[in-house]
Structure 1
Amino acid sequence: MAQTTQDIRIGWIGLGEMGYGMAKNLHAYLASHGSHLTVWNRSPGKTDAIKEQGAHVAISIENLASTSNVIFTSLANDAAVENVYEQLVQLASKVQEQIIFVDTSTIHPSTATKISQLVAAYPQHRYLQCPVFGRPDRAHAAQLVWVASGDAATIEKLQPYFGSMSKNTIDLRTTDVSKASSFKLMGNFFVVGTIELLAEGLALAEKVDIDKSAMLQFIESFFPTPSWIGYSQKMASGSTEKAGGFPVTLGLKDVGHMRKLAADHGAALPTADVAYKNLEKLKAQGKGDQDWSSIIEVLREGPEAQK
């Protein structure tokens, strides 16, 4: 590593399905170099598993901030990110030693800009926006795709830590952190577009009584990618479980962000518009905790459900 373990003291905030997988791998990397990760989560019970692996648990966000000079965050939505960073920046404002903040959350570009401006008020500190691509199983396997934006020297400094959690890093080579958030939303557009396309096609196949196994064989032969195969198998099996996936509620948040991004820049995302309506229907039916591939349930209802 470029620095000794005494130089780098890493903290982690947010131990949801994605955050825990990333934090687990980062802690294992640190432990292999004679150090440890310090974690804090708003729901204390979620720290138990990583504590058993040797990570330290901060008693408060103040405690974590006072013992860390690199702080990673993995949070569910923009409101949570703003709340946590308002606290972190207030605490950091009293510290002369540099603190590097790395947010891995999927947020609207304007939120990333707002957080960057908060941190920039204290020039000794740095803020990177580094969203990640991959489902929770990929996070656990350290196979995420990491996206980096912010100060180039800081990104270079943290590359070993990014590498402990991902299979590769896409460095956008810009200090404009909003670009990473935009990039993540565009990537997620391709994912939700895939889900909508598969749901429409498989729902039609069911209506005309095409054998499911034959359709899955076709998809595996012509579109042999993890997302196509995984989502088509999930839909064909009738599974709606969120475990290891992505809930309708967060899907609505992400698709809402990408639609706003498109509108703000004079672009059109008709596929996202359709997917958003279908996700809204699922939420209205009390299915907000189901995996967002449950879009196929709405399509199975037929044309009337699309009005």
Structure 2
Amino acid sequence: MAANSGLPFSRPPTPKMPPSQVGFIGLGNIGYLMALNLANCGPIHIKDFLPLLVWNRTACKAGKLVNDVGVNKARIAKKPEDIMQECDIIIINLSNDDVVRCMYQRLIATLKNSPPIQDEILVETSTIYPSLAAELDLMVSSLPNSHLVTCPVLGTPIIADKLQLLLVMSGNYRARREIAYLLVLAAGRKVVDLGEDLEKAPIFKLMANSMILGNLEILAEAFTFTEKSGIGAQNVRDLLSNYFPAPTFVSYPILACADKMLHEQFDGEKGFSIDGGIKDALHIRRLTAKHNYPMPAIDVAHQHLLTTRAIHTRHKSEDKATFDVLDWSSIIAGTRAAAGLDGLDGRKVSELLSESLEHNL
């Protein structure tokens, strides 16, 4: 065990460290903060760390990152292929499986035209279905000196901002070791090492997300129950603080999502999008079907996420949507709709309940 408790590996041999260049593709909510921290902290923890090379489909995000850290710590690539040609380590963080697959096809085509002379490591940090990891490995391993590490991360944007992400890692041993020493302290706090099988890390990430999504479903049902019964949603929030005080369990995601549900702060640009939640739910259900293991809570959560997205789509078509992208905590709209309440407008929920109370009296 290394001196740093977050690292399950001995330090890599010094000739390979530091890498000549690190690149980052995909600056979403988590990816942006990972890249920001890596650009800022890389020079502190790794000798002669070069400015991070970044690319994002929306160029303004890459420009914002460079403005945030300074031109001496990051620079912008014109296209992903430039990152593949210039970098020894490429970290990829994208939204879904199709986008990930397309990106790798572009990157591998670049390497086929100019095969790497020294080791090249691609680090897949997106949440993907496990079989896609095997597919990507076939692409990467077809080239000399090229390795893939699957490294999905666990944590909210707040946790990412504090460099406290949990790094779940599988793949080639030496490559895992290199990436662990690059990312721990510069982007995350600890590595969960799952060995050589590249599919293990994506499976672990989906398992973790199933726990989070299941808790979101229970939380949404509890809020809706108190709204419908007239107890008041604030009492659910207070119950969480007073009766379930375990810091890790409560802070992520329970209290944070409880606050979003209570105040209808469903801005997906600041959290985890509902599309990402639906994608993960589909992956989880596919895995449970493969292993003959039912997870009814996820089935119900998936239905409520779809209902919420349908409501939001209608609101957008009517130009009534408060947010362009919904956070997955908006799952409560699905439980409200199932209870005959307005999904995304708490004021209407209160009005309906008041009318119902007056009628009963």
Partner of residue 76 from structure 1, selected from 90, 95, 110: 95
Any residues of structure 2 matched to 1:163-174 within 5 Å, and which? 163=184, 164-172=186-194, 174=195
Q: Deviations over 1:60-82 (max 9, x none)?
A: 22221111011000000001110
The CA distance in 2 between the partners of 1:138 and 1:151, in whole Å, is: 27
TM-score relative to the length of structure 1: 0.93
SS at match of 1:11: strand
Match of residue 10 from structure 1: 22
Unaligned runs of 5+ in 1: none
Deviations 1:132-187 (A, max 9, x none): 01112222221111100001121112222221111211111x21111111111110
* Cα contact 1:106–1:184 (8 A) shared by 2: yes
Q: Any conservation in 1 of the 2:52–2:75 contact (CA below 8 Å)?
A: yes
| Alignment-derived partner of residue 276 in structure 1 | 302
| Matching residue of 1:299 | 335
Q: CA deviation at 1:123?
A: 4.1
Which AA in structure 1 matches 2:138? Q
Identity across the alignment (%): 31
Q: Over aligned residue pairs, what C-alpha RMSD do you find?
A: 1.9
User: Residue 304 of structure 2 contacts residue 333 of structure 2 at CA under 8 Å; is this kept in 1?
Assistant: no
1:122 matches 2:143? yes
Counterpart for residue 56 of structure 1: 75
Match of 1:257 among 274, 283, 287: 283
Q: Deviations over 1:96-150 (max 9, x none)?
A: 3221000100000111110011111124111000000111222222111110000
Counterpart pick for 2:31 among 10, 14, 19: 19
Question: What is the alpha-carbon distance in structure 2 between the residues aligned to residue 6 and residue 269 of structure 1?
Answer: 44
Q: Which residue is equivalent to 1:44? A: 59
**Which of 258, 261, 283 pairs up with 1:235?**
261
Which stretch of structure 1 is more off in the superposition, 185-194 or 38-47?
38-47
Matches within 5 A, 1:99-110: 99-110=120-131
Equivalents in 1 of 2:83, 2:278: separation in Å?
32
Q: CA deviation at 1:45?
A: 1.4
Question: SS at 2:272's partner residue?
Answer: coil
Structure 2 counterpart of 1:204: 225
Q: Does 1:193 align with 2:205?
A: no
User: What do the CA deviations read for 1:242-270 (whole angstroms, capped 9, x no partner)?
Assistant: 24211111111110111001111111111
Partner of 1:65: 84
Closer/same/farther in 2, CA of residues 211 and 281 from structure 1, 3 Å limit = closer
Q: CA deviation at 1:92?
A: 2.1
TM value normalised by structure 2: 0.80
Aligned length: 304
After TM superposition, give the deviation of residue 296 of structure 1 in Å. Answer: 1.1
Name which one, 1 or 2, has greater alpha-carbon Rg: 2
The one-letter code sitting in structure 2 at the alignment partner of 1:120 is S
Contact 2:307-2:333 within 8 A present in 1 as well: no
Q: Which shifted more, 110-119 or 280-289? A: 280-289
Greater shift in the superposed pair: 203-212 or 296-305:
296-305
Quote the residue 1:266 is aligned against. 292
- C-alpha distance in structure 1 between counterparts of 2:229 and 2:312, whole Å: 29
Contact 1:137 1:244 in 2 (8 A): no
Using the alignment, how far apart are the partners of 1:298 and 1:290 within structure 2?
A: 13
**AA of the residue aligned to 1:49:** K
| Cα pair 2:23 2:89 within 8 Å, conserved | yes
Unaligned segments of structure 2, at least 5 residues: 1-10, 314-323, 342-361
CA distance in 2, matches of 1:161, 1:189: 28
Q: Which moved more, 1:287-296 or 1:40-49?
A: 287-296
Assess, with a 3 A threshold, how the Cα gap between structure 1 residues 3 and 162 changes in structure 2: closer, same or farther: farther
Q: Any conservation in 2 of the 1:149–1:171 contact (CA below 8 Å)? A: yes
Match in the other structure for 2:3: none
Moved more, 103-112 or 221-230: 221-230
Instruction: Give how far 1:199 is off.
Output: 0.5
